[in-house]
Structure 1
Amino acid sequence: MIEPEPVFGDMKNNLGFKRFLLRGLPKVNLEVGLLSLAHNLSKKASVDAKNQEAKREQAA
């Protein structure tokens, strides 16, 4: 089971997201989608950085 709380905590603390800027359900859905995309891209970037570091250590 995956708990969603760490994701929202990351959005609040690290991204500085405290409240929605737009009004209306379609706009809020879009804003949540963009926040989720930003979160997933940052996770992907950190995983890629770890993989590159591991490849450098293996090559050395």
Structure 2
Amino acid sequence: MRSENGYALAVRRMTEPESVFGQLKNNRGFRRFLLRGMDKVTLEVGWLSLAHNLLKQAATNRKQKLASLQ
């Protein structure tokens, strides 16, 4: 934390997950877990993460395809 590199890493850790959780809550409407128990919640988080990453990849592919057409 005292070095410039340590501070940069700490800042990255604070900001990266926040955008994902914000998108899950606001854009996807996810407010609470549907299942109970640590194993089931872990599975549900995995599905949410997978869906988020697939949608993000699809948007990137769409942008690249549109850029290549122009």
Q: Which has the higher helix share?
A: 2
1:8 aligns with 2:21: yes
Larger Rg over CA atoms:
2
So what's the TM-score if we normalise by structure 2? 0.78
When the two chains are superposed, the root-mean-square deviation of aligned CA atoms in Å is 0.9
Task: Select the structure with the greater relative contact order (CA < 8 A; seq sep ≥ 6).
Answer: 1
Q: Which structure 1 segments of 5+ residues have no match?
A: none
Could you tell me which amino acid in structure 2 is paired with residue 22 of structure 1?
L
Work out which of the residue numbers 32, 39, 44 in structure 1 matches 2:57. 44
**1:12-55: CA deviation from partner (whole Å, max 9, x where unpaired):** 01111000000000000000000000100010000000110011
Number of matched pairs: 57
Cα distance in structure 1, aligned partners of 2:39 and 2:60:
32
Q: Which runs of 4+ in 1 moved over 2 A?
A: none
Q: Which structure 2 segments of 5+ residues have no match?
A: 1-11
So what's the TM-score if we normalise by structure 1? 0.90
Identity %: 60
